[in-house]
Chains A and B, each alone.
Chain A
Amino acid sequence: MRWVFVLLSVVLTQTMEAQELFIRTEPASNLPKGVLGIRGIAEYYQEGAITRSMYALRALYGVNPRLTVWLQANISNHHDNQLPDDLIDDEGGIQHTHDIVTTEPYPMIFNGFHAYAKYLFLKHDQQNRHFRMAAYGEASSSLTAHDEAEPNFMDDNAGLGAGIVATQLVDRFAASLTVGAAFPLRYVEKDRDITLYYGRAVSYSLSLGYLLLPVAYKDYTQTNLNLYLEFIGRANERAEIYLEEERVFIGQDTPALRAGNYVEIHPGIQLILNSTTRIDMGMGFRMWNTSYRHPYPLYFFQVQHYFF
């Protein structure tokens, strides 16, 4: 963690100017009208001896100066396409979910699609600075048997979400606040007559960005180096499981299915090449409590190209 504070002190002692192309969250600003962005996303974490990974391909489009949309397809080996055979024991309680038996390998499967739309409703621009606010809505499909209470729309859960983003950018420095809610759909496994209701969740984040290089802009070919520090928090309700319409008891030893609350810290760096391609790299660490959706650290890598 020490290098995170070193990075923060470097950022805060330099002259402020801006960057808001956050790695883990979205800024309030939109893509220019008619511009297409294609993003490849990779995310990894180690779970026992198994490396869990998620890969996604996202197409973003600036419909107009106020509206940006994206559609994303995901694959991952986070879960199987059905719940563990021994999820429920003979006495009607939880025997195990994959987070308890952490070495359960799963195949890489297609998870589904994630659609997102963001509408900019407030724009206050000044020279070298702006304050903007946007509202977003998202919808996700999933073919995955997610067996934790916390929903995850990028690849694990089907559902709907909405939220608000406020972004302030001053010269080299950018800060963004996001608050959102997630309403996951239930998962039904007809063969065994199991229904899993996931917890609704509230997400909140504070993202900080800083343009480290170039010191002075000369032309578009200069490589930009941006530093990011993002604090991402979530609170989710408990899950409920029904077997043949009978409610299954979820005990204290199954925290992944209970209500949760945590904050993570995500430092990252970003390179922008030729003013058209961005490369993001970062890690995610536990800061307060824990997510039972994944162990730590998280590793993520993204490449996005803009077609102007």
Chain B
Amino acid sequence: MKGCLITLFLSFCLVSGGFAQLQSVEVGIDGLTCSLCARGVEKSIQKLSFIEEVKMDLAGTKMNVRFLDREKVDVHLIAKSVEDAGFSVRYLTATLLGKELLPLASKGFLYENDLYHMIGPDQLLPPGSFSVRFIGKAYQSKKEFKKWKTSLEDAMAEVSPLYSHIYFITL
């Protein structure tokens, strides 16, 4: 319990810092085959308050999303917007700036009030800018998710539910 309180206190400290450490995400989209459909996805993402720019790659069926400074980024809302437009997330990777993050030993980091929990063996966060891949049903194709299902269940048993949102990631 004491550990949880310390973690929460530290995360509130980070919120007051107000830096956007999460710089951009790349989202692979499944089921997408036409420009009209792609436009539907793009417009759905643009409705989110923290979006600066969406660049859709029609041929690669993926998009790059950049965020506004000083806005809290809710990655799960990006995945939900893709679903709302009628499509599925194939993968979601995020680019982060390590120096602004608060590492939690070797099991991930805190950003805003959200916990980013690393799955798998302990790993240190690389210095500077680095990428993480999101693990979960909402962030992966069904085939890919099956490979991670057991690791995800193990990781879910490890984390405290006290965060506003918990993301499971891997480097």
Q: Which of A33, A126, A211, A275 contacts B30 (CB 8 A)?
A: A126
- The reply to whether A130 and B31 form a contact with Cβ atoms under 8 Å apart is yes
Instruction: Confirm or deny: B157 has a beta carbon within 8 angstroms of a beta carbon on chain A.
Output: no
Query: In the assembled complex, which residues on chain A have CB atoms less than 8 Å from the CB atom of B28?
Result: 127
Query: In the assembled complex, which residues on chain B have CB atoms less than 8 Å from the CB atom of A82?
Result: none
CA A172 – CA B31 in complex, angstroms? 12
Interface size of A by CB at 8 A reads 42
CA A160 – CA B80 in complex, angstroms? 34
- The reply to whether A220 and B85 form a contact with Cβ atoms under 8 Å apart is no
Query: In the assembled complex, which residues on chain B have CB atoms less than 8 Å from the CB atom of A211?
Result: 33-34
Looking at the assembled complex, report how far the CB atom of A160 sits from the nearest CB atom of chain B, in whole angstroms. 27
Q: A127-B61, A217-B59 are in contact. Are A35 and B33 (CB under 8 A)?
A: no
CA A18 – CA B38 in complex, angstroms? 13
- The reply to whether B35 and A18 form a contact with Cβ atoms under 8 Å apart is no
* Complex: chain A residue closest to B46, CB-CB: A308
Instruction: Confirm or deny: A272 has a beta carbon within 8 angstroms of a beta carbon on chain B.
Output: yes
- The reply to whether A275 and B35 form a contact with Cβ atoms under 8 Å apart is yes
Q: Which of A31, A169, A219, A220 contacts B33 (CB 8 A)?
A: A169
Q: Which of B31, B44, B83 contacts A126 (CB 8 A)?
A: B31
- The reply to whether A34 and B84 form a contact with Cβ atoms under 8 Å apart is yes
Instruction: Confirm or deny: A32 has a beta carbon within 8 angstroms of a beta carbon on chain B.
Output: yes
CA A275 – CA B87 in complex, angstroms? 17
Which applies to chain A's interface (DSSP): helix, strand, loop or mixed?
A: loop
Interface size of B by CB at 8 A reads 27
Q: Which of A123, A126, A216, A224 contacts B141 (CB 8 A)?
A: A126
CA A224 – CA B36 in complex, angstroms? 9
Instruction: Confirm or deny: A289 has a beta carbon within 8 angstroms of a beta carbon on chain B.
Output: no
Q: Which of B33, B36, B87, B90 contacts A272 (CB 8 A)?
A: B36
Contact with B along A180-194 (1 / 0, CB 8 A): 000000000000000
CA A124 – CA B31 in complex, angstroms? 8
Q: Which of B33, B56, B88 contacts A123 (CB 8 A)?
A: B88
Q: Which of B33, B40, B58 contacts A32 (CB 8 A)?
A: B40
Interface residues in B13-70 (C-beta closer than 8 Å to A): 28, 30-36, 38-41, 43-44, 56, 58-59, 61
* Complex: chain A residue closest to B36, CB-CB: A275
- The reply to whether A308 and B43 form a contact with Cβ atoms under 8 Å apart is yes
Query: In the assembled complex, which residues on chain A have CB atoms less than 8 Å from the CB atom of B88?
Result: 123, 125
Interface residues in A26-78 (C-beta closer than 8 Å to B): 29-35, 62, 64-65
**Considering the complex of A and B, which 7 residue pairs feature the smallest CB-CB distances, nearest first?**
A125-B31, A217-B58, A308-B43, A125-B30, A130-B31, A18-B33, A125-B88
Known: A18-B33, A275-B36. 20 other contacts (CB 8 A): A32-B41, A34-B84, A35-B43, A123-B31, A124-B142, A125-B141, A126-B141, A127-B30, A127-B61, A127-B90, A128-B61, A129-B33, A130-B30, A174-B33, A216-B59, A217-B59, A219-B58, A220-B38, A220-B39, A306-B36
Q: What are 7 of the A-B contact pairs (CB < 8 Å)?
A: A18-B33, A32-B44, A35-B43, A65-B83, A127-B28, A224-B36, A272-B34
A interface, CB within 8 angstroms of B: 17-21, 29-35, 62, 64-65, 120, 123-130, 169, 171-172, 174, 211, 216-220, 222, 224, 272, 275-276, 278, 306, 308
